[in-house]
Copies of this chain bind each other. A is one copy, B any other.
Amino acid sequence: MNVLIIDDDQLVSASLKIILESDPMIQVTGVGNSGAAGVNLYMKLKPDILLMDIRMDHMTGLDAAELILKDDPNAKVLFLTTFSDNEYIIKAFQIGAKGYILKQNYESIIPALKAVFVGQRVFGDEIISKMPSFKSSRQPQTLTRFDLSEKEVEIITHVAGGLSNKEISETLFLSEGTIRNYISVILEKLNLRDRTQLAIFYYKNT
């Protein structure tokens, strides 16, 4: 089984290579350190599996995978991720990745690779809770799972309603600056970048 490794942290990709090659079934046929390199190397090497970091500078693993899958829909892309990447993970499956592995969890990489190799999809427990179709059976309310205050949740719903900071401030009788501050800490808490991602997050979790 030929594997291509893409991770912009050289240390990670090097140790991955060692770990994987400890298994006689696996050969690492290439190592790259950027999304662009991932695309090029994949096209050139056509490995059985592409093992790629999700978060990379310039071109994220997602972008690279999207390009690759557009060209070769049968590509088997397995993502590496830290556990906070939940939003990316959803995206990963939407574009057709075969799974992901938590970086913390090195001993699970080889079994996961093999499972993907024989055509399975592989992922951890966390993602289940992120799936709108499954969430209903477990938790009644989703946003309160995170340590968000009442007010923060209220503000999120307004953002998800498409209101600007000014409009929210007028609705809640607070200053616009205060709203900005609130949103800033909400984004921090949820590990998101901007209000658009927040609105998306809201719809995916409600």
Q: Does A170 contact B (CB under 8 A)?
A: yes
Q: Does A121 contact B (CB under 8 A)?
A: yes
Identify the closest chain B residue to A157 (Cβ).
B94
Report the minimum CB–CB distance from A115 to chain B (whole Å). Answer: 4
Contact indicator A93/B162 (Cβ below 8 Å): no
Contact indicator A120/B132 (Cβ below 8 Å): no
Contact indicator B115/A122 (Cβ below 8 Å): yes
Report the minimum CB–CB distance from A2 to chain B (whole Å). Answer: 16
Contact indicator B125/A123 (Cβ below 8 Å): no
Interface stretch of the complex, out of A5-13, A141-149, A193-201: A193-201
Q: What 0/1 readout, one digit per residue, does chain A (107-148) give for beta carbons within 8 Å of chain B?
A: 110011011011111111101100111100100000000000
Q: Does A71 contact B (CB under 8 A)?
A: no
Tell me the bound Cα distance from A128 to B107 in angstroms: 26
Interface stretch of the complex, out of A43-51, A58-66, A174-182: A58-66
Looking at chain A, what size class is its interface with the partner chain? 35 or more
Identify the closest chain B residue to A108 (Cβ).
B118
Q: Does A83 contact B (CB under 8 A)?
A: no
Q: Which of B121, B128, B132 interacts with A128 by CB under 8 Å?
A: B121
Tell me the bound Cα distance from A196 to B187 in angstroms: 14
Q: Does A84 contact B (CB under 8 A)?
A: no
A interface residue numbers (CB < 8 A to B) = 58-60, 63, 66-67, 87, 90-91, 93-95, 99, 101, 105, 107-108, 111-112, 114-115, 117-125, 127-128, 131-134, 137, 159-162, 164, 167, 170-171, 192-197, 199-200, 203-204
Given contacts A114-B115, A132-B132, A199-B199, 8 further A-B contacts (CB under 8 A): A58-B170, A63-B167, A107-B118, A108-B120, A111-B120, A121-B122, A121-B127, A162-B200
